[in-house]
Protein backbone atom coordinates (compact mmCIF):
# COMPACT_ATOMS: atom_id res chain seq x y z
CA UNK A 1 0.00 0.00 0.00
CA UNK A 2 1.20 3.50 -0.77
CA UNK A 3 1.37 6.43 1.61
CA UNK A 4 1.36 10.04 0.48
CA UNK A 5 4.17 12.03 2.11
CA UNK A 6 3.59 15.27 0.22
CA UNK A 7 1.75 17.00 -2.61
CA UNK A 8 3.06 19.64 -4.97
CA UNK A 9 0.92 22.71 -4.32
CA UNK A 10 2.54 25.12 -6.78
CA UNK A 11 5.78 26.43 -8.19
CA UNK A 12 7.80 28.98 -6.25
CA UNK A 13 9.95 31.57 -7.95
CA UNK A 14 11.62 31.21 -11.33
CA UNK A 15 14.32 28.63 -10.59
CA UNK A 16 12.14 25.52 -10.45
CA UNK A 17 11.40 25.25 -6.74
CA UNK A 18 8.12 23.62 -5.79
CA UNK A 19 5.99 24.29 -2.72
CA UNK A 20 5.10 20.97 -1.11
CA UNK A 21 2.22 20.37 1.30
CA UNK A 22 3.91 17.98 3.72
CA UNK A 23 2.01 14.89 4.88
CA UNK A 24 4.70 13.21 6.92
CA UNK A 25 6.01 13.61 10.45
CA UNK A 26 9.55 13.36 9.12
CA UNK A 27 9.96 15.94 6.33
CA UNK A 28 13.64 16.44 7.17
CA UNK A 29 14.20 12.74 6.43
CA UNK A 30 11.76 12.21 3.56
CA UNK A 31 12.81 15.36 1.63
CA UNK A 32 16.54 15.43 2.48
CA UNK A 33 18.98 16.36 -0.28
CA UNK A 34 19.88 13.25 -2.28
CA UNK A 35 16.64 11.43 -1.47
CA UNK A 36 14.89 9.81 -4.42
CA UNK A 37 11.15 10.49 -4.37
CA UNK A 38 8.47 8.58 -6.25
CA UNK A 39 5.82 10.87 -7.64
CA UNK A 40 2.50 10.13 -9.29
CA UNK A 41 -0.42 12.15 -10.50
CA UNK A 42 -3.75 11.69 -8.71
CA UNK A 43 -5.84 8.90 -10.27
CA UNK A 44 -2.80 7.47 -12.05
CA UNK A 45 -0.73 4.38 -11.31
CA UNK A 46 2.35 5.54 -13.24
CA UNK A 47 5.21 6.84 -11.08
CA UNK A 48 8.25 8.96 -11.87
CA UNK A 49 11.39 9.24 -9.77
CA UNK A 50 12.73 12.63 -8.68
CA UNK A 51 15.94 13.35 -6.77
CA UNK A 52 15.85 16.11 -4.14
CA UNK A 53 18.70 18.58 -4.59
CA UNK A 54 17.64 20.94 -1.76
CA UNK A 55 14.76 21.59 0.64
CA UNK A 56 13.95 24.47 2.97
CA UNK A 57 11.02 25.68 5.00
CA UNK A 58 9.27 28.88 3.92
CA UNK A 59 6.00 30.36 5.26
CA UNK A 60 4.62 27.06 6.56
CA UNK A 61 5.45 25.12 3.41
CA UNK A 62 8.42 23.12 2.33
CA UNK A 63 10.21 24.43 -0.75
CA UNK A 64 11.92 21.65 -2.64
CA UNK A 65 14.35 21.71 -5.55
CA UNK A 66 14.47 18.62 -7.74
CA UNK A 67 17.23 17.66 -10.17
CA UNK A 68 16.14 18.40 -13.72
CA UNK A 69 13.40 20.81 -12.66
CA UNK A 70 15.20 24.05 -13.41
CA UNK A 71 12.57 26.65 -14.26
CA UNK A 72 9.07 27.79 -13.42
CA UNK A 73 7.46 25.95 -16.36
CA UNK A 74 8.94 22.61 -15.30
CA UNK A 75 7.85 23.25 -11.70
CA UNK A 76 4.32 24.29 -12.80
CA UNK A 77 4.01 21.00 -14.69
CA UNK A 78 4.37 19.14 -11.37
CA UNK A 79 1.39 20.83 -9.68
CA UNK A 80 -0.76 18.15 -8.00
CA UNK A 81 1.90 15.41 -8.09
CA UNK A 82 1.78 13.20 -5.00
CA UNK A 83 5.03 11.97 -3.47
CA UNK A 84 4.54 8.43 -2.21
CA UNK A 85 6.31 5.70 -0.25
CA UNK A 86 5.42 2.08 0.48
CA UNK A 87 3.64 1.62 3.82
CA UNK A 88 5.98 -1.29 4.55
CA UNK A 89 8.80 1.26 4.78
CA UNK A 90 7.12 2.98 7.73
CA UNK A 91 7.56 1.51 11.21
CA UNK A 92 4.56 1.49 13.53
CA UNK A 93 4.89 4.33 16.04
CA UNK A 94 5.02 3.95 19.80
CA UNK A 95 2.07 6.27 20.46
CA UNK A 96 -1.17 4.25 20.57
CA UNK A 97 -3.20 7.40 19.77
CA UNK A 98 -1.44 8.10 16.46
CA UNK A 99 -2.47 6.40 13.24
CA UNK A 100 -1.51 6.48 9.60
CA UNK A 101 -4.33 7.14 7.15
CA UNK A 102 -3.97 3.70 5.56
CA UNK A 103 -4.44 2.03 8.96
CA UNK A 104 -7.85 3.69 9.40
CA UNK A 105 -9.17 3.29 5.86
CA UNK A 106 -11.40 0.24 5.63
CA UNK A 107 -12.12 0.02 9.37
CA UNK A 108 -15.76 -0.47 10.41
CA UNK A 109 -17.42 2.41 12.28
CA UNK A 110 -20.10 1.89 14.91
CA UNK A 111 -21.88 3.91 17.58
CA UNK A 112 -21.16 3.49 21.29
CA UNK A 113 -24.22 1.18 21.54
CA UNK A 114 -22.76 -1.08 18.80
CA UNK A 115 -24.98 0.09 15.93
CA UNK A 116 -23.13 -0.16 12.61
CA UNK A 117 -22.60 3.19 10.87
CA UNK A 118 -20.36 2.31 7.93
CA UNK A 119 -16.71 2.05 6.88
CA UNK A 120 -13.90 4.62 6.76
CA UNK A 121 -13.27 5.27 3.08
CA UNK A 122 -10.71 8.07 3.45
CA UNK A 123 -9.00 10.35 5.95
CA UNK A 124 -9.27 13.99 4.88
CA UNK A 125 -6.80 16.62 6.03
CA UNK A 126 -8.07 20.19 6.28
CA UNK A 127 -6.93 23.40 7.92
CA UNK A 128 -9.48 22.73 10.66
CA UNK A 129 -8.18 19.22 11.36
CA UNK A 130 -8.68 15.66 10.21
CA UNK A 131 -12.01 14.22 9.10
CA UNK A 132 -12.99 10.60 8.65
CA UNK A 133 -14.96 10.12 5.45
CA UNK A 134 -17.32 7.29 6.38
CA UNK A 135 -19.30 5.43 3.73
CA UNK A 136 -22.57 4.82 5.57
CA UNK A 137 -24.54 1.58 5.35
CA UNK A 138 -27.07 3.39 3.11
CA UNK A 139 -24.33 4.66 0.75
CA UNK A 140 -24.13 8.25 2.04
CA UNK A 141 -20.83 9.91 2.88
CA UNK A 142 -20.60 11.12 6.48
CA UNK A 143 -17.75 13.40 7.52
CA UNK A 144 -16.76 12.75 11.12
CA UNK A 145 -14.31 15.11 12.85
CA UNK A 146 -11.43 12.95 14.08
CA UNK A 147 -11.34 14.31 17.63
CA UNK A 148 -11.44 12.41 20.92
CA UNK A 149 -14.84 13.87 21.92
CA UNK A 150 -16.49 12.31 18.85
CA UNK A 151 -14.13 9.36 18.23
CA UNK A 152 -13.45 7.96 21.73
CA UNK A 153 -12.16 4.54 20.58
CA UNK A 154 -9.94 3.40 17.74
CA UNK A 155 -8.84 -0.21 17.43
CA UNK A 156 -6.95 -1.40 14.38
CA UNK A 157 -8.50 -4.84 14.93
CA UNK A 158 -12.04 -4.02 16.14
CA UNK A 159 -12.75 -0.74 14.33
CA UNK A 160 -13.79 2.75 15.33
CA UNK A 161 -16.42 3.77 17.88
CA UNK A 162 -18.02 7.20 17.48
CA UNK A 163 -20.20 9.25 19.80
CA UNK A 164 -21.55 11.86 17.38
CA UNK A 165 -23.25 15.06 18.44
CA UNK A 166 -26.91 15.40 17.59
CA UNK A 167 -27.45 15.90 13.86
CA UNK A 168 -24.07 14.65 12.62
CA UNK A 169 -25.52 11.46 11.17
CA UNK A 170 -28.75 13.05 9.89
CA UNK A 171 -29.44 13.25 6.18
Alpha-carbon gap, residue 72 to 42, rounded angstroms: 21
C-alpha distance from residue 3 to each of 6, 153, 162 (Å):
9, 23, 25
Domains, the chain, with CATH or none: 2-88 (2.40.30.60), 103-162 (2.30.30.240)
pTM, 2 dp: 0.64
Indicate the SS3 state at residue 149.
coil
**Closest residue by Cα to residue 150 from 136, 137, 135, 169:** 169
pLDDT for the residue numbered 93? 62
Ranges of residues in the chain with a pLDDT under 70 are 1, 88, 90-96, 171
Query: How far, in Å, CA of 130 to CA of 11, rounded?
Result: 26
Report the residue count for the chain: 171
Please give the Cα distance from 11 to 63 (Å, whole number). Answer: 9
User: Rounded to an integer, what distance in angstroms lies between the CA atom of residue 158 and that of residue 120?
Assistant: 13
Distance of CA 160 to the CA centre of its chain: 19
Backbone angles phi, psi at 113, to 5 degrees: -90, 0
Residue 116: what pLDDT? 94
Amino acid sequence: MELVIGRVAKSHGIRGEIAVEVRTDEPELRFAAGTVLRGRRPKSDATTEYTVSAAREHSGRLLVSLRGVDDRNAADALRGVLFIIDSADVPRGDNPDEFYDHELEGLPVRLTDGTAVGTVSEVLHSAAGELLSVRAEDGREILVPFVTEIVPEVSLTDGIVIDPPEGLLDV
